[in-house]
Structures are given as C-alpha cells and as structure tokens.
C-alpha cells in the first residue's frame, strides 16, 4: 500500500511514523508513506497556498491550484483522495478496514479557515473527520487514520488474529487481566483461570456485550 500526505507542515510527521508498528510495516515493505509539502506546487516566490475568501470573512482559505497541481502529479487510476476536515463522515473501524485494502491513499491536510469549495467539488473522493471537534489542521487526524489502517494490513502484525477480537469488532473489547492473580484484594475472575476455553469464550462475549451497552450503547 502507498500513502501520500499533502501538508503544510511536513515536519510534524517525523516522529509518529519512525516508531513502533508503522515503522515496522515500512521496513517490511508493506506500506510506503510519503510526506509532501503542498508549497512545492506553488508558482510564486512566496510559495503562497492560501487567499482571502471572496465575500469577506475571517481568516484565510486554502487555494485550489496547489492542490490540483499536487494531485495531478500524485494521483493514479487506483488512488483514493481523502480530505481531512471536521465536516467529513466520521472515521470508524469499518472505514479503517476499507482503507486498509486500498492500493493508494492520498490524504489532504487542511489548515487556516477551510478549503476553496472547488477542492471538494472537483478534486477529492471523500471527506473524513475523526470527531466532532475542530483542530488546528489535518495533520493529527492523518496520523490517526494511518496508524489505524496500517495495523490492519495483512502481515503487519505478528498475530493477525489480534485485529479480529479487539475493540469495535463489532463491540468493545472484553476485560483482560495478567499477573498477579490478586492485587490489593482485586482478583482475576476464576473462569479465566479454569482452562475451560468454551466457558472463557462465553464469559468474554457476555462481558463484551455488557461493556458495550454500558459505555457505547450506540454501537448496538
């Protein structure tokens, strides 16, 4: 899988992709991540990427031209172009699974007060939001999206079955425990020490459903 990121702040991505699972996925050749400075597709000496909105208003708007030129260079037939914005559909585990099967993903990180509407109308396939709140830009959402989808790519995790039984697939993850068996009087449930795999599986399903009903009833 190849992922291209269009951003005004490429240095923000230096750390997150140089550690842990995402780094190992790159080292294995399972994913290629490229960071691009949107200013590289500007034509003036000041590398201007924004402008004042027509009709007036507060702040600056990201211009359509540098985004168009960048996509002209990067986009292929099998590319999916995603705009990271609070106005987009909410990023969830099922979306992550869908994205993990793509051959080429292009993420556009916004900044300023918004985008020239022609970017939305003519240049992208989808808008995506990580939640109902406003950040200073799309860089942090891009990191979250990439971290989530990369771990779902076959071969990235040593134990691929881990992605099947974790949170949101389809309910919240069941409670888990490790040693010691007792701490300050807090004990590990007896069923987990029984060795009865059928009963353990039943207990986990019951606890997963109960936890989901209590914390995230909207998932049911």
Which residues, 6 or more positions from 65, have their beta carbon under 8 angstroms from its beta carbon? 41, 42, 43
- CATH class in words for 2-150: alpha beta
Q: pTM for this one? A: 0.84
Confidence tier at 169 by pLDDT (50, 70, 90): low
Above 90 in pLDDT, residue 165? no
Res. 164: pLDDT tops 60: no
Q: Decide if 31 contacts 2 (C-beta within 8 A).
A: yes
Q: Within its chain, how far is the Cα of 174 from the centroid?
A: 23
pLDDT at residue 79 greater than cutoff 80:
yes
User: In this structure, what token pair is assigned to residue 122?
Assistant: 């003519």
117 CB-near residues (< 8 Å, 6+ apart) = none
Do 116 and 64 form a contact (C-beta atoms < 8 A)? yes
| Domain-wise residue ranges, the chain | 2-150, 165-219
Structure tokens belonging to residue 38:
């949107």
Q: Where are the alpha helices (DSSP H) in 1-81?
A: 20-27, 64-74
Render pLDDT for 84-137 as a digit per residue (tens, 0 to 9): 998 899 999 999 999 999 999 999 998 877 899 999 999 999 999 999 998 999
CA distances from 109 to 1, 70, 77, 101, 128 (A): 19, 13, 21, 21, 11
Which CATH fold topology does 165-219 show?
1.10.1270
């Amino acid at each position: 899988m190849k992922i291209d990121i269009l951003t005004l702040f490429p240095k923000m991505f230096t750390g997150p992709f140089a550690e842990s699972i995402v780094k190992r996925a790159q080292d294995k050749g399972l994913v290629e991540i490229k960071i691009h400075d949107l200013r590289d597709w500007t034509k003036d000496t000041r590398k201007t990427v924004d402008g004042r909105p027509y009709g007036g208003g507060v702040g600056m708007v990201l211009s359509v031209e540098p985004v168009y030129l960048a996509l002209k260079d990067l986009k292929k037939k099998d590319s999916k172009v995603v705009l990271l914005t609070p106005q987009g559909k909410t990023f969830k585990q099922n979306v992550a699974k869908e994205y993990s099967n793509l051959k080429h993903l292009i993420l556009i990180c916004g900044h300023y007060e918004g985008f020239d509407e022609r970017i939305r109308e003519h240049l992208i396939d989808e808008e995506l939001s990580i939640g109902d709140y406003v950040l200073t830009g799309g860089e942090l959402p891009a990191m979250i999206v990439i971290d989530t989808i990369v771990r779902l790519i076959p071969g990235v995790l040593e134990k691929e079955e881990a992605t099947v039984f974790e949170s949101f697939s389809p309910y919240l993850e069941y409670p888990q425990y490790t040693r010691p068996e007792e701490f300050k009087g807090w004990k590990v449930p007896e069923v987990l020490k029984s060795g009865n795999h059928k009963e353990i599986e039943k207990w986990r399903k019951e606890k997963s459903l109960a936890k989901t009903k209590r914390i995230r009833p909207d998932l049911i």
